[in-house]
């Protein structure tokens, strides 16, 4: 999965070397104790599918840790309303998220949102 990712920031995120929003390689002060620990923390909050990671990379979409927090809060709000598949709109980015599985399915930037139709969603959340 991670072999096809050309964006170093996304590659580091997928492999667990950095946390969402962290710039550059992990330093001893902010490095997770192991990639497995980081993956577990990220999975508890929100997973990013391989397809979504590719879209984030190819569209040069970079989300800070605060942005990821907003997405997670939006997903939690959608879950509280019984949503299953949600469109999360944030600034100039749209994410389709499986609320049940807590997984980002795909990501679209502002340019890609124009004249785009989002299907198979039952809710939309603006964060």
How would you write 54-98 as a 3-class SS string? Answer: HHHHHCCCCCCHHHHHHHHHHHHHHHHCCCCEEEEEECCEEEEEE
Each domain of the chain, given as residue ranges in start order, spans: 2-126
Spans in the chain with pLDDT lower than 70: 1-43
Query: What pLDDT is stored for residue 115 in this prediction?
Result: 79
DSSP 85: E
pLDDT at 3: 53
Determine the pLDDT at residue 92: 92
Nearest to 45 by CA among 76, 84, 88, 81: 76
Q: pLDDT digit string (tens) for 32-53?
A: 445 555 445 555 789 999 999 9
Residue 4 is predicted with a pLDDT of 59
Q: What is the reported pTM?
A: 0.67
Q: What span, in angstroms and rounded, lies between the C-alpha atoms of 12 and 33? A: 15
- Specify the pLDDT at position 116: 84
């Amino acid at each position: 999965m991670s072999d096809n990712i050309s964006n170093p920031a996304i590659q580091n995120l997928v492999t667990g070397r950095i946390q969402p929003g962290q710039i550059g390689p992990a330093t001893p002060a902010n490095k997770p104790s192991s990639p497995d620990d980081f993956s577990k923390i990220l999975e508890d909050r929100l997973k990013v599918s391989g397809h979504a990671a590719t879209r984030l990379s190819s569209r040069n979409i970079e989300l800070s840790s605060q942005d990821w927090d907003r997405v997670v809060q939006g997903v939690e709000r959608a879950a509280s309303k019984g949503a299953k598949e949600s469109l999360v709109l944030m600034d100039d980015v749209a994410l389709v998220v499986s609320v049940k599985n807590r997984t980002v399915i795909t990501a679209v930037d502002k340019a890609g949102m124009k004249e785009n139709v989002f299907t198979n969603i039952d809710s939309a959340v603006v964060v």
